[in-house]
């Protein structure tokens, strides 16, 4: 692997991490607006929600109750 390939790989990895961080912020903000804060229990479901595309996780964050989110996305 030459330097150019290594740089391109680093750049792509960095972009992917930035997109994931942005999505995490969106989910956290949706949950904060909906429930007032994100406690430890809610923070545990964020990673599971992030596995879904935005068009799926957004309505879930808005429509499901706290208990429904915890039940549906509880780590197994």
Give pLDDT, residue 74.
80
| pTM attached to this predicted model | 0.80
Give pLDDT, residue 2.
75
**DSSP assignment string, 33-74:** HHHSS--HHHHHHHHHHTTS-HHHHHHHHHHS-HHHHHHHH-
Chain Cα centroid distance, residue 14: 16
Give pLDDT, residue 57.
93
Buried/exposed code over 55-65 (b: 16+ C-beta within 10 A; e: otherwise) = eebeebbeeee
Mean pLDDT in each 10-residue stretch from start to end of the chain (76 residues)? 85 94 95 94 92 94 95 78
The CA R_g of the chain, rounded to the nearest whole Å, is: 16
Kindly list the domain boundaries of the chain, sorted by start residue. Answer: 21-73
């Amino acid at each position: 692997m030459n330097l150019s390939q290594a740089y391109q790989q680093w750049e792509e990895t960095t972009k992917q991490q930035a997109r994931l961080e942005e999505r995490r912020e969106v989910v956290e903000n949706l949950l904060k607006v909906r429930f007032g804060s994100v406690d430890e229990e809610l923070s545990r479901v964020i990673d599971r929600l992030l596995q879904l595309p935005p068009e799926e996780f957004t309505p879930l964050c808005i429509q499901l109750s706290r208990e429904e989110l915890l039940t549906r996305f509880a780590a197994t």
